Amino acid sequence: MEPQQTPEVPTSAQIDVAAETFRMLSSSTRLLIVWLLAHEELDVSGLAEASGTSVQTVSQHLAKMRLAGLVSSRREGRRIFYVVDDPHVVTMVGEIFAHIAPDGSLAPDPEPRRLPGSRLP
């Protein structure tokens, strides 16, 4: 059996950016916007309607999230469409909601995957 390697300690720059990303996602409105944009491209009006938030509030959140690199945008005529296209952000948001049941409790962990022929439980 191979000895398990200790992962490299993150750099201070990595820690700072990770903390800022989590800070940006600590707002329930921003987290919902990111979840929505991870599933479909929407403009500000569509986001406001889907999130039950005012257009002004959604616009302010989008501006912050664009600066943080969590969402990207494209212009189509006079409308701007937003999307989360970073697969890391999509995975992170998907994982947290897979971990939380609809009633807000923690969802049960999936059965661990076992390699064929493994004796481990």
Q: DSSP character for 89?
A: H
pLDDT at 117: 63
pLDDT at 118: 54
The structural domain count of the chain equals: 1
Q: Among all chains, which residue has been given the structure tokens 């200790």?
A: 6
Residue 38 lies in a domain: yes
pTM over 0.95: no
Which domain CATH number covers 75? Answer: 1.10.10.10
Provide the residue range defining the domain that includes 45: 18-99
Residue 7 lies in a domain: no
Residue 81 lies in a domain: yes
Residue 120 lies in a domain: no
pLDDT at 5: 83
Residues 6+ away with beta carbon under 8 Å from 36: 42, 47, 50, 51
Residue 115 lies in a domain: no
CA–CA separation, 66 and 73 (whole Å): 8
Residue 12 lies in a domain: no
Mean pLDDT split into 10-residue runs, the chain, 121 residues: 81 96 96 97 98 98 96 96 96 93 86 63 52
DSSP states of 53-85 as a string? --HHHHHHHHHHHHHTTS-EEEEETTEEEEE--
